[in-house]
Structure 1
């Protein structure tokens, strides 16, 4: 009898606990719904203010350029006001108010892989976490970009008697496909969240993805005359090693440059500064020759692949396609680097003129 009473008491106690938990869950849900509704209603005026301020900054910069072109304002004053406007925009787009501004449209590439999912983060710490992960991914892949082809070339000479087997090369090509797909996804997400990644670099990674996919179907021929048939593959692996060295240097120098620009209020924390925009002249003197040599070698490998196809050594369509893509990517990289250096040189000349006028005054 006692056990039956005790069992009934415990049953009633747990039933009451479950009912209490259910009621508490409903109360929390109602409170959160009220909080979200209140937050959205309070957010709308702030969003409108941020949009108006952003439009005002754009209008003032346009007016400033017009006054400067018509020589209605002193260049030194125009430079100072332009820097102040740039700092004001950085405060808005780089702070917690950034999520109030419209971001870049989510492109077809993201929709193709992720579907209609909004990847824009509402909190700044989440956005910065995305960028930190992107930088970490680039650091890891730069090292692999150097070591993977180096290992294949060393094994080719020491173990495989000068003739690369198809399977390890295809593993490398599959890894390249994974690498460039990951970079393109991360860069598109960064762009949606306010980063200034240049469209060319994203398009470059699209081209590299297509080339890696096509090269997976490329038959790697062996003996006889293996060295001649695999000359294009060997040169491509050597180019990949050079690319790995350049990526390591770019990753190091671009961080230094970006930190400086952020401290001066001339860049946002979500921005990405590429290697050829590295800060001091010594860095540019080191990086620019490497970049130009790399681009020239990339074009050379592409032309060599086209030559091997046209003379009949390896006439598969994959060889022609990869050769054309390498040439196109080399030309695009060269144009983008030259344009960046021209912009940088004009900016430096402008800064020198401003300093010299300040000394004279």
Structure 2
């Protein structure tokens, strides 16, 4: 009796034999590919180890040369003009080492405490430079988008308080805003820690600042803003904080716009790496800084004032709440930290400008000397 398909037993056997041969051939090809990939991986690891040792040696030589240049300048063995030129050249070398494909061969930075708590020992370092650049660009885009929300959210709350809520905030909208702040500062700290592992130069203070802001947002979520006979008196601190948030949103928009222009210029000159990001009030041209720095100092003073006001209220009020004390102390700590970092940035800018002016003066003097003196 023939099969249901109408094929003879010989034809059916031949068909199964053909399929078996194809399966065997596929398995053989997979084993061959596996062996080839394994050999390639072994060779790749061996080559990577050799190149990694060369990269580490070059970094050590670069650091030693920087020390030697400064030492020779202090001993007057070379002029300051020559020393600055050599340091600039070494800065470009550093950018090549830390900003190109060589960076993936250097020992990775260990995850900070924040990342270890959230992710454990997971490796968050991108092995390819385009992956690292994508992380940075996504961080910049996130800052741009959230700056708009940071500005718009408190404006809407203040407008509704005046026009719809009879000068008294409902608890839920304010708590939603505080929950968003907790999410915002947590995500910023998370992204900045990943950027630091991937070679970014974010100052530690700005990461610590976001830790403090996370703590303040978490504390404020547990702070009841209703239940007082005079709701406007109890919510005065909330209103002041929202006013400060509006000013902070404006400052964030200015920083994101102005500072990135300067960073792109520094990257083009080889004085900054492509993984570097703008932090705080680090850059901007002269006309822009006349707007940015007064706003920043006003923000810091206002932030300190709100913190002091909360502490004062906690002292004179009978129904003092611990959240009021905690938020007041955190606001004052952030204000002083921001102020000290702003001053440090201004001092660093002044030193750079003085150095550039001196280099230009010495260079002009050398160009006006005879050739044998310049060579000497």
Q: For this structure pair, what is the TM-score category when the shorter chain's length is used for normalisation?
A: over 0.9
How far is 1:22 from its partner?
A: 3.7
Tell me the SS of whatever aligns to 1:277.
coil
Partner residue, 2:154: 149
Is contact 2:196–2:202 with CA below 8 Å preserved after alignment? Answer: yes
How far is 1:149 from its partner?
A: 0.8
2:281 to 276, 296, 304: 276
Is contact 1:145–1:240 with CA below 8 Å preserved after alignment? Answer: yes
Structure 1, unaligned stretches of length 5 or more? none
CA distance in 2, matches of 1:157, 1:130: 41
How far is 1:279 from its partner?
A: 3.4
CA distance in 1, matches of 2:14, 2:167: 83
Distance 1:77 1:160, change over 3 A: same
CA distance in 2, matches of 1:320, 1:299: 13
CA distance in 1, matches of 2:282, 2:238: 31
Partner residue, 1:111: 116
Is contact 1:165–1:222 with CA below 8 Å preserved after alignment? Answer: no
Cα deviation code 1:51-104 (max 9, x no counterpart):
111111101111111122232211111110010010011111111010111232
1:76 to 68, 72, 81: 81
Partner residue, 1:90: 95
How far is 1:316 from its partner?
A: 0.6
How far is 1:108 from its partner?
A: 1.4
Partner residue, 2:129: 124
CA distance in 2, matches of 1:238, 1:145: 12
How far is 1:315 from its partner?
A: 1.1
How far is 1:14 from its partner?
A: 4.7
Tell me the SS of whatever aligns to 1:105.
coil
User: Are residues 1:236 and 2:234 paired?
Assistant: no
CA distance in 2, matches of 1:335, 1:110: 27
How far is 1:26 from its partner?
A: 3.2
CA distance in 2, matches of 1:243, 1:77: 43
How far is 1:214 from its partner?
A: 0.9
TM-score, with normalisation over the residues of structure 1? 0.96
Partner residue, 2:296: 291
Is contact 2:104–2:127 with CA below 8 Å preserved after alignment? Answer: yes
Counterparts in 2 of 1:322-337, with a 5 A limit? 322-337=327-342
Partner residue, 2:105: 100
329-338 or 311-320: bigger deviation: 311-320
Distance 1:11 1:238, change over 3 A: farther
CA distance in 1, matches of 2:63, 2:187: 34
Structure 2, unaligned stretches of length 5 or more? 367-376
Partner residue, 2:352: 347
Tell me the SS of whatever aligns to 2:281.
helix
RMSD: 1.7
Cα deviation code 1:300-346 (max 9, x no counterpart):
11111111211117511011000100000000000011001101110
User: Are residues 1:176 and 2:181 paired?
Assistant: yes
Counterparts in 2 of 1:21-40, with a 5 A limit? 21-40=26-45
Partner residue, 2:61: 56
CA distance in 2, matches of 1:198, 1:351: 24
Distance 1:231 1:72, change over 3 A: same
Cα deviation code 1:99-120 (max 9, x no counterpart):
1112322111101111210111
CA distance in 2, matches of 1:158, 1:18: 75
Distance 1:85 1:306, change over 3 A: same
User: Are residues 1:320 and 2:320 paired?
Assistant: no
Is contact 2:209–2:334 with CA below 8 Å preserved after alignment? Answer: yes
How far is 1:16 from its partner?
A: 4.4
CA distance in 1, matches of 2:297, 2:78: 40
Partner residue, 1:200: 205
Partner residue, 2:371: none
User: Are residues 1:47 and 2:47 paired?
Assistant: no
TM-score, with normalisation over the residues of structure 2? 0.92
Is contact 1:163–1:222 with CA below 8 Å preserved after alignment? Answer: no
Distance 1:253 1:16, change over 3 A: farther
83-92 or 218-227: bigger deviation: 218-227
How far is 1:284 from its partner?
A: 1.6
Pairs aligned (count): 361
**Structure showing greater Rg:** 2
